[in-house]
């Protein structure tokens, strides 16, 4: 089981509670997120016709808590270019893909 690097300095900079996390994470660029939490557990890059990455999906494990203080198994950050456009909290390891 891998946990994100949550030193007290990181926790002070960015809350792991759902809404506070969402409110702040969307203002950060990828490099700042890596600085805060380290490399994601899983990365999926989506490329344009060339080799330029235009969107990415990053997954971290046990990074965020719900209103009861319980950790979500996975937090997914969806990027377009260098900015987070969506945050998804999951109670699974993120490996389950929908067949729809």
Average pLDDT along the chain: 84
| Helix segments in 1-100, DSSP class H | 8-13, 18-25, 30-37
> 12 pLDDT exceeds 80?
no
What pLDDT was estimated at residue 100?
38
What pLDDT was estimated at residue 95?
80
Higher-pLDDT residue of 88, 18: 88
Note the pLDDT tens digit of each residue in 26-71: 999 999 999 999 999 999 999 988 888 899 999 999 999 998 999 9
What pLDDT was estimated at residue 13?
56
Measured distance CA(26)–CA(37) in Å, rounded? 15
Measure the CA angle with vertex 13, ends 78 and 83; round to 5°: 25
- Res. 1 pLDDT band, cuts 50 70 90: very low
Instruction: Spell out the residues 6+ positions from residue 65 whose beta carbon is closer than 8 angstroms to its own.
Output: 16, 17, 18, 71, 72
* Average pLDDT over every residue of 74-89: 96
Measured distance CA(86)–CA(79) in Å, rounded? 7
Domains of the chain and any CATH numbers = 12-90 (3.30.1450)
């Amino acid at each position: 089981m891998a946990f994100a690097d949550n030193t007290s300095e990181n926790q002070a900079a960015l809350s792991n509670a759902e809404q506070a996390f969402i409110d702040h994470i969307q203002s950060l660029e990828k490099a700042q997120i890596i600085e805060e939490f380290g490399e994601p557990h899983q990365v999926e890059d989506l490329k344009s016709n060339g080799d330029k990455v235009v969107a990415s999906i990053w997954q971290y494990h046990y990074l965020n808590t719900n209103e009861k203080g319980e950790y979500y198994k996975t937090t997914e950050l969806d990027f377009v270019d260098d900015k987070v456009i969506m945050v998804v909290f999951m109670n699974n390891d993120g490996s389950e893909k929908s067949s729809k």
